[in-house]
Amino acid sequence: MKGMSARKLSEHLEELGCFRTLHVREAFEAVPRGAFVPDALALDAYRSAPLALPSGGVMTHPYIFAFMLDQLYLRKGNRVLLYDGGSGWEAATIAALVCPETEGAAPQRQLVFALEPSEETKEKATERARAFGAAGGIVFFTEESLAGSQGPFERIASVKKIPTETLSSWKEMLSIGGRIVAPQGESIFVLQKNGPDDFEEKKFFGFHFAE
């Protein structure tokens, strides 16, 4: 699939059953993966595969990320905690779904709080988001405690497997009515918070996640 465009990639993902809602597909096309990689990797950005970056980050497999976005049920104004995006593409796509449209040069309200694995990946992700014009609604962190202090959140997502203790803390940071979507084993689990101690869980099997 080398040389695919953002539109071609979204068409391919739709054929695989992604994009239950039109606005998720529109965000995928509006925030092209190729804008968040070095020029040398631009052609590879539209392959339906994870993509390792020189900074050490990994762009999530497009199919997996599209599936997760569908399960997050993102709405305008949602506050979102994103764990370990690695490239800025994931955060920018979420921002396209939750940040209200602004007029002129009005600043966007920060709604996406992206936790990066290192200072280098944070700087690269911030740089790419700023160059694309998506940085206004996003703030990047390297410390989980600082990112978590921005809660509560209506949505929490991880593109990598998370330890059990992290999930426990996320339940506390999640607003009632909120959702957590994250990898667990070879599945994607969805956690809906219906009350202070009332959680509804679903699992979707058959996924493989890049380590």
pLDDT for 3 equals: 41
Q: 129-150 as b/e, with b when 16 or more CB fall inside 10 Å?
A: beebebbbbbbbbeeeeebbee
Least confident of 21-30, 49-58, 171-180: 49-58
pLDDT for 210 equals: 60
Q: Which is higher by pLDDT, 134 or 93? A: 93
Quote the pTM value.
Answer: 0.89
Is a pLDDT exceeding 70 seen at residue 107? no
Paired with 58 in beta bridges are 52
- For the segment 164-181, the average pLDDT, to the nearest whole number, is 92
- For the segment 105-118, the average pLDDT, to the nearest whole number, is 79
pLDDT in tens, 18-46: 888 788 888 888 888 888 888 888 888 88
Helix or strand or coil: residue 38? coil
Strands 138-141 and 112-115 turn out to be parallel
Element (H, E) at 94: helix 89-98
Q: What is the mean pLDDT of the chain?
A: 86
